[in-house]
Every structure is written in structure tokens, then in C-alpha cells.
């Protein structure tokens, strides 16, 4: 099995193992319920589930937007590397009359054209999804963090 085939298989397995949105909500509800019991909170299952779903819903779109922004960054780096390192050398060799370099240059230019198109689609998606996220985010009322209880206080409540 070639190295690329191994990477493709590993990537396929990772993608298959990634939890979906609903699975993340269910996991968060289970974790919140268990954590609540550990610290002595009296949350029934419905309250824990509602609270966990609200938390996951609040961070999900931001995480999605961060992923799209990361893909845009990778596309930008790929294009920059081609423009800085590969294309200038291929152009110089093609201008020098090397027939193989002309074919390579043509292929590189086609690749860069495709990568630029993909980057433009990612940027459009980032603008659209990110704009929705920013509009939703402005609707959220400012949350004031609660002060942390003194160390050990939660254990005293749990013991009581």
C-alpha cells in the first residue's frame, strides 16, 4: 500500500469517526449531566440536555466559520507558494526554450487557475456563512460570567 493510499484511508477513517452535530449535542448533554452530578447540582436530564444543546448551538456556527477560514488560509498559502517558487522558475525555463518546461508551465498555470477558483468559492462561502454568524452573534445578549466559588466549596455542597 503506497503512502498516499495509507493517508487517504486514514483520512477516510477520521472523517467517518468525526461526530456529527447531533452527536456532539448528545455527548455534551451526557457530559453536563455527569459533571452536574459530580459537583452536586440537581439537574434533571431534560434541563441538562437543554443547557448542553444551548451551549453547543452557541459555539457550533463559530467553529464552522473557523473551519472555512482555515481552508481559505490553506488555499492562500498554496497559491502564494506556487506564485513565489514554482511559476517563476517554470516561466524562466519555458522562455529559455525548454519544451518540457512549456508543458509543465501550462499544467502549473491550469493548477493555479483551479486553486484560485476553489479559493474564491471558499472566500464566498466564508463571507456568506460568516456574515450570518456575525448577524446572529450580535443578537446574543452579553453574558456576564459568574464568579467562581472558593476552592473546595463545591465539595462541601456535594457532601451536604
78-104: pLDDT as tens digits: 999 999 999 999 999 999 999 999 999
Output the pLDDT for position 32.
87
- The dihedral region occupied by 152, where left means phi > 0, alpha psi between -120 and 50, and beta the remainder, is left
pLDDT of 102:
94
- The reported pTM is 0.71
pLDDT in the model for residue 99: 93
Residue 69 confidence (pLDDT) above 80:
yes
Sole residue written with cell 487557475:
113
**Torsion angle, alpha carbons of 102, 107, 111, 117, to 10:** 80
What pLDDT does 122 receive? 96
Angle at CA 86, nearest 5°, toward 81 and 90? 160
Instruction: Find out whether 72 and 122 touch, Cβ atoms under 8 Å.
Output: yes
Tell me the per-residue pLDDT of 104-155, one tens digit each, with 9 for 90 and over.
999 999 999 999 999 999 999 999 999 998 988 877 655 556 677 666 555 5
More reliable by pLDDT, 61 or 70: 70
Q: What three-state secondary structure class fits 141?
A: coil
Q: Check residue 33 and give its pLDDT.
A: 87
Confidence of residue 44 (pLDDT cuts 50, 70, 90): confident
Query: 108: which DSSP letter?
Result: H
Comparing 140 with 50, the larger pLDDT belongs to 50
Specify whether the CB–CB gap between 119 and 111 falls below 8 A. Answer: no
Amino acid at each position: 500500500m503506497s503512502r498516499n493510499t495509507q493517508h487517504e484511508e486514514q483520512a477516510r477513517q477520521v472523517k467517518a469517526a468525526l461526530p456529527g452535530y447531533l452527536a456532539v449535542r448528545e455527548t455534551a448533554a451526557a457530559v453536563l449531566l455527569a459533571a452536574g452530578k459530580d459537583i452536586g447540582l440537581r439537574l434533571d436530564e431534560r434541563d441538562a440536555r437543554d443547557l448542553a444543546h444551548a451551549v453547543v448551538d452557541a459555539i457550533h456556527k463559530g467553529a464552522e466559520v473557523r473551519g472555512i477560514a482555515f481552508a481559505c488560509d490553506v488555499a492562500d498559502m498554496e497559491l502564494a507558494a506556487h506564485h513565489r517558487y514554482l511559476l517563476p522558475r517554470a516561466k524562466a525555463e519555458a522562455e529559455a526554450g525548454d519544451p518540457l518546461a512549456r508543458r509543465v508551465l501550462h499544467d502549473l498555470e491550469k493548477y493555479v487557475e483551479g486553486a484560485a477558483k476553489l479559493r474564491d468559492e471558499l472566500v464566498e462561502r466564508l463571507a456568506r456563512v460568516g456574515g450570518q454568524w456575525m448577524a446572529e452573534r450580535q443578537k446574543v445578549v452579553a453574558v456576564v460570567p459568574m464568579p467562581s466559588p472558593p476552592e473546595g466549596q463545591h465539595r462541601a455542597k456535594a457532601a451536604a
